Amino acid sequence: PPTPLTLLGTGAMGTALARVWLAAGHEVTVWNRTAARAEPLAAEGAAVAASAADAVAANRLVIVCLLDDVSVGEALDGADLAGRDLVNLTTGTPAEGRARAAWAEARGARFLDAGIMAVPPMIGAPASGGYVFYSGSPELFEEHRDTLGVPAGTRFVGADPGFAALHDVALLSAMSGMFAGITHAFALIRPEDIAPKDFAPLLADWLTAMAPAVHQSADRLQSGDYTRDVVSHLAMQVAGNTTLLRTAEEQRVSPELLTPYAELMERRLAQGHGDEDGTGMVELLDLRGR
C-alpha cells in the first residue's frame, strides 16, 4: 500500500504536493500554521493535525515545505523527531541544509534536504519535466524514492546534505542572469517600435540556441584549457560589449543589468586572457583565499 505521510506547510507548493499524494492513494496528514489554509485539503481526504508535533507523531515519513529554514525550525520546535524520516522540501542555502541535517540527526531522525525544480502547476504533471534534487541520507532516499517520485521526478545528488540546495541555487542563479538579459532585451526593443509578441519567439529561440555553450564551458573547466577551439574569444567579446552599451545609450535604456558582466570580461582581458572564451571568468569570481 502507498506509504502514509505527513506534510507540514500547505502553501502554494505544499497544497499542490498534498493533492498529488492524496490522488495517488497515500494517507496524508497535513498541518499549516494558518489552519484555514489546510481546510480545502480536508475535503479532499487529508487528515488535518492540530499542531506540527501531532502531525509529526502521525507518520514516520515527514515532509516539510515551508517558506524558509527559519520557519522549519519554528514549526518543528517541540516535535519529537526520534525515528522519523524527515524530508525538507523548503528552499534554503547549502549551509542551511547541512545544519538542518545535523540538527535532525541529533534528534534521532534520518534527513534528506531537497530543492524543487518546478512551480506548483508542474507538480503531478510528469510531462512538464519538473523534478526535485535530493541530498543527505541515501538510505532514506532509497526507501522512499517511489513515494517521493509521485509529485515530480527525483534526482539524488549526494550524501552531502548541502548538495541539493547547491544544485538548486546554482540553477536558479543562472536563471536570474537569463531573466536579467531578457529584461534588458525587452527594454531595448521598446514595445512601440518592435512588438514584444513578434520578438519573443526570436528571443526564446536564441536563448535555446546558446544554451548548449554550457557543455563547452564544462569541458574547459574540467580540462583547464580555456583557449582551445575558441570561436568567440574574449577580446572580440569585449569589443562587442561597447556596441551593446552604446545601443543601450541610444535607446535611452539603463545599462545596469549589462555592466557588471561587461566589467568582469574587461578584468579578465586586462589580465592577458583575450584568447579565451568566457569560461576563465569563473576564476575571477572565486573569493576563497582573498
Our finding on whether 64 is near ligand NDP (CB under 6 A) is no
Contact of 16 with 125, CB cutoff 8 Å: no
Residue 224 Cβ vs ligand NDP, minimum distance, rounded to whole Å: 35
Residue 209 Cβ vs ligand NDP, minimum distance, rounded to whole Å: 27
**Alpha-carbon gap, residue 86 to 109, rounded angstroms:** 6
Our finding on whether 34 is near ligand NDP (CB under 6 A) is yes
Touching ligand NDP, residues 4-33 (CB under 6 A) = 9-14, 32-33
User: Can you tell me which of 24, 53, 57, 67 binds ligand NDP, judged by CB under 6 A?
Assistant: 67
User: Can you tell me which of 91, 137, 154, 237 binds ligand NDP, judged by CB under 6 A?
Assistant: 91
Residue matched to cell numbers 518543528: 76
Helical segments of 68-162, H only:
69-76, 94-106, 138-148
Q: Which is nearer to ligand NDP, 14 or 278 (CB)?
A: 14
Give the three-class secondary structure for 52: helix
Q: Which stretch binds ligand NDP (CB under 6 A): 59-67, 183-191, 222-230, 243-251?
A: 59-67
Our finding on whether 119 is near ligand NDP (CB under 6 A) is yes
Contact of 11 with 38, CB cutoff 8 Å: no
Number of residues engaging ligand NDP in binding (CB under 6 A): 22
Q: Which is nearer to ligand NDP, 170 or 218 (CB)?
A: 170
Q: Which is nearer to ligand NDP, 12 or 221 (CB)?
A: 12
Our finding on whether 97 is near ligand NDP (CB under 6 A) is no
Q: Which stretch binds ligand NDP (CB under 6 A): 20-28, 70-78, 215-223, 230-238?
A: 70-78
Our finding on whether 41 is near ligand NDP (CB under 6 A) is no
Neighbouring residues of 64: CB distance < 8 A, sequence distance ≥ 6: 7, 8, 9, 72, 75, 76, 86, 87, 88, 89, 90
**Alpha-carbon gap, residue 88 to 73, rounded angstroms:** 11
Q: Which is nearer to ligand NDP, 117 or 258 (CB)?
A: 117
**Alpha-carbon gap, residue 126 to 193, rounded angstroms:** 39
Please state the φ and ψ torsions of residue 287, each to the nearest 5 degrees: -90, -5
**Alpha-carbon gap, residue 129 to 29, rounded angstroms:** 27
Chain residues binding ligand NDP by CB under 6 A are: 9-14, 32-34, 37, 65-68, 71, 74-75, 90-91, 116, 119-120
